[in-house]
Amino acid sequence: MPRDFQIGGESLVSVKGNPLVNIGSLSELGLSLDPISVSFEFFKDPLIVNAWGKAPVDMQTMNAIAHIRMELVHYDPSILDACVRSTLGGATNVNVGTVERAGKRLGAGDQLFSGNNFYVSLNIASPQGGIPWRFPFSYLEENPYTLTLGTNRSTVVLNWTAITYTFDPWGEGTGAEGYVLYSNTLDS
């Protein structure tokens, strides 16, 4: 592809997650008001060798995470509630906003979309730009969302984090190698 302006166009955000919180099938969360921001955090560690003094002789890659920020203007509050329930560890039989016990793991050793795994697969479709984004292991960050209420329009600002996840961090001795942080194939 030659160098050119890259205009993604409008974005539709959909989610899929644990059926216990009512997002077992791909569900439309909402439309973005402004551009969706995706930023990556690549972790590195220096390799220090005495003969090189304090300068690293090489750098080690130590995995990565992604941060996704969006403001939705046309959204489904029930799907937002399901995302909040997932982020709080899957509190399913209570009102939204009720927390699980401290220390509960979001993945809990299960595969995505099953059992006790409450990660949300975050999908961003951008038909004009032609490049969709999927973050299979996402959750709402510590300051998960801000509601703006008004007579003109009400919006919700969502802050997501995506990680690479596996129920087996040893991974046949390969660790995180080959695990997906994001892809360009949406859930079906």
Domain encompassing residue 35: 12-48+57-173
Per-residue pLDDT of the chain (188 residues; tens, 9 = 90+): 588 887 778 899 999 999 998 999 999 999 998 999 999 999 999 999 999 999 999 999 999 999 999 999 999 999 999 999 999 888 766 677 777 888 889 999 899 998 899 999 999 998 887 889 999 999 999 777 788 887 888 899 999 999 999 888 888 889 889 999 999 999 99
β partners of residue 28:
14
Number of compact structural domains in the chain = 1
The residue assigned the tokens 């302006």 is: 5
Prediction pTM value? 0.91
Kind of pairing between the strands at 155-162 and 12-16: unpaired
Flag whether 2 is in a domain: no
- 185: in domain: no
Return the number of other C-beta atoms located less than 10 Å from residue 176's C-beta.
16
Q: Could you give the CA distance from residue 58 to residue 60 in angstroms, rounded to a whole number?
A: 7
CB distance 69 to 126 below 8 Å: no
- Return the closest-CA partner of residue 101 out of 87, 89, 85, 118: 89
Is 183 among the domain residues?
no
Residue 157 forms part of a structural domain: yes
The tokens describing 110, both together, are: 């299960």
155 found inside a domain: yes
The answer to the question of residue 187 being in a domain is: no
